[in-house]
Structure 1
Amino acid sequence: MSNGTTGVDEARNALGKRLRELRVAAKLSGKELAESLSWVGSKVSKIENGKQTPTDDDIKDWTRATKSEDQTASLLAALHNLELQHAEWQRVLKAGMKSHQLTLSQLDEQTKFYRGFENTVIPGLTQTPEYARARFAQVVMVHRVPNDINEAVKVRMQRQEMLYRPDKRFHFVITEAALRYRLVSPEIMIGQLDRLMAMTSMRNVKLGIIDFKTQYVTDPRHGFWVYDDHLVQFESYSAEINLRQPQEIELYTGIFEHLAAVASYGSEARAIISRVMHELAGEADDAGS
């Protein structure tokens, strides 16, 4: 996976290559195909080069125009697999945020061992209702999706009940930066840090904090989650990325181990959280006086 490509990019490129082969076999130029479908000229090139993901209708039109309808089902299957990998938020959140939380609940049922790294936000499974509410409010603002914040918070809190199930294990690693980013008010953040403090002594939860003075082995590029050994999930601004290829899971598992190895646990983690809480409390006092 060189040059920063992921399984998602590879799958999109492979789909584009298959569509190009059908066009060439039909002896059509890109311009001719675009004109026959009343598309802008650049659309064919973008799809073939993996720069644009085709829709179901695009594929049906393409196979009809290239007289290769026998390939439609196979190409649609490849597209839907790609959409599972690269799940655009506009599509994922169309039915609301509660619906997406319920989808994650189904994944929870199958998962025994969670490994989560976050460098900017507090992990969803450890969030207080107030912190979660602020995160969902941002989603509504950025993606202009239905406002079902109350329902989404409720389902996220229900998901957290599994933290107490003896058949599941959790290993969270969070950077000190995530404890300090001003994504919520100081009062809400103090409550959130208090919650993390309590989690450092939970039986089946391992919580590590990487403080600012730590020397990293692998850079903390973005947050991600490893579900058992079958799925890696992370979020970009535009999509939820789901990686299922063994080499990708192996890569992320190794990166998680590097990050977990330099984190502080137990009393050392509590000392970092306590330090941040103390500073925030001082700010809240200053603001109130």
Structure 2
Amino acid sequence: MTTDFQQAREALGRRLRELRGPSAQRELAARLGWPQAKVSKLETGRQTATPEDLAAWAEGTGHPATAEELVARLQGLETHTRSWRRQLSAGHRPVQDVLTVEYERSKTLRAWQGAMVVGMLQTPDYARNVFSRFADLQQSPRDVEEAVLARVRRQDLMYQRGRVFHIVMWEAALHAGLAPPDVLAAQMDKLTNVIGLDTVQLGIVPFGAQLALPPSTGFWLYDERLVIVEEWHAELWLDDPDSVGVYQRVWDKLSAAAVYGTHARRLITRARAHFTDT
């Protein structure tokens, strides 16, 4: 058993403990017809749950909607490369629920995105178009409305004190035609409104900016413990210090080329004018 596997199993155990809430282990064990030792081992990462165990846990703790999330976590135990085919086998909603857990655990979040508006800042209509396109690409179940709702609800975290989002996007992300012009114009309005929030620092790297590194694939940094990188075929979940350090340095270099405040608003307004003129 690898250290990575064990860390992931312990993380799943912590999530199970969260779902159990104030109930005692023996109460849940009695409810499920299990020995108390099994509940303890699952919560401490000393035993690997089965999909059936996780479905029973979700039901027994009064959180049946988390079953798909828990199974998705189980499927990701053995590797840091989480294929979209496997993750999306039950649709986009479980993937969003898994990510929400990582957002909630984090205090300082950093994002780089060069291809589209980051999910944390998407309007429902923009998110709907993005999810639809990826569902077509991956040929996954079309639970678009459930996924949009989960993403929008997660955005409430931006308004909670004690958590800060440092988001940097390439100007190209503002111009990507991933939705009809009216949807894109409304999306630009939302980005403009985000500027000035105490909990969000939004930077835009302009076209023509001098860059220390080429703009590459999007990623999120969760404190200094985890980086999630998005590729076409999979997500990479990297928690070793060396990998996290590399992406931290990438983010620092790209963010150094960004403009903020009034300058960022000017770029967003220019993109909005492009969509309203078409």
- In the superposition, the TM-score normalised over structure 1's length comes to 0.69
In 2, distance between residues paired with 1:89 and 1:278? 35
What is the percentage of aligned positions where both structures have the same residue? 33
Which protein is bigger by CA-based radius of gyration?
1
Q: Indicate yes or no: 2:261 matched with 1:270.
A: no
Tell me: CA distance 1:244–1:174, structure 2 relative to 1, closer, same or farther (3 Å): same
- Name the structure 2 match of 1:142: 137
Write out per-residue CA displacement over residues 125-167 of structure 1, whole angstroms, 9 at most, x where no aligned residue: 0000000001110121011111111111001000000000001
**1:119-138 correspondence runs (5 A):** 119-138=114-133
**1:224-239 correspondence runs (5 A):** 224-239=219-234
Shift of 1:213: 2.1
Q: Indicate yes or no: 2:246 matched with 1:251.
A: yes
In 1, distance between residues paired with 2:76 and 2:202? 36
Q: Which amino acid aligns with 1:103?
A: V
- Name the structure 1 match of 2:106: 111
In 2, distance between residues paired with 1:94 and 1:235? 17
Q: Indicate yes or no: 2:157 matched with 1:155.
A: no
- Name the structure 2 match of 1:188: 183
**1:58-69 correspondence runs (5 A):** none
Tell me: CA distance 1:80–1:189, structure 2 relative to 1, closer, same or farther (3 Å): closer
Q: Which amino acid aligns with 1:279?
A: H
SS in 2 for 1:170: strand
In 1, distance between residues paired with 2:176 and 2:148? 21
- Name the structure 1 match of 2:235: 240
- Name the structure 2 match of 1:216: 211
**Poorly superposed stretches of 4+, deviation over 3 Å:** 79-82
- Name the structure 2 match of 1:91: 86
CA contact (8 A) 2:76 2:82 kept: no
Shift of 1:209: 0.3
- Name the structure 2 match of 1:199: 194
In 2, distance between residues paired with 1:180 and 1:90? 28
CA contact (8 A) 2:122 2:187 kept: yes
Q: Which amino acid aligns with 2:202?
A: L
Q: Which amino acid aligns with 1:213?
A: G
Instruction: Compute the RMSD of aligned alpha carbons.
Output: 1.4
Higher mean alpha-carbon deviation, 139-148 vs 160-169, is at: 139-148
Q: Indicate yes or no: 2:174 matched with 1:174.
A: no
**1:73-88 correspondence runs (5 A):** 81-83=77-79, 85-88=80-83
Tell me: CA distance 1:197–1:80, structure 2 relative to 1, closer, same or farther (3 Å): closer
Q: Which amino acid aligns with 1:234?
A: V
SS in 2 for 1:93: helix
CA contact (8 A) 2:114 2:218 kept: yes
Pairs aligned (count): 205
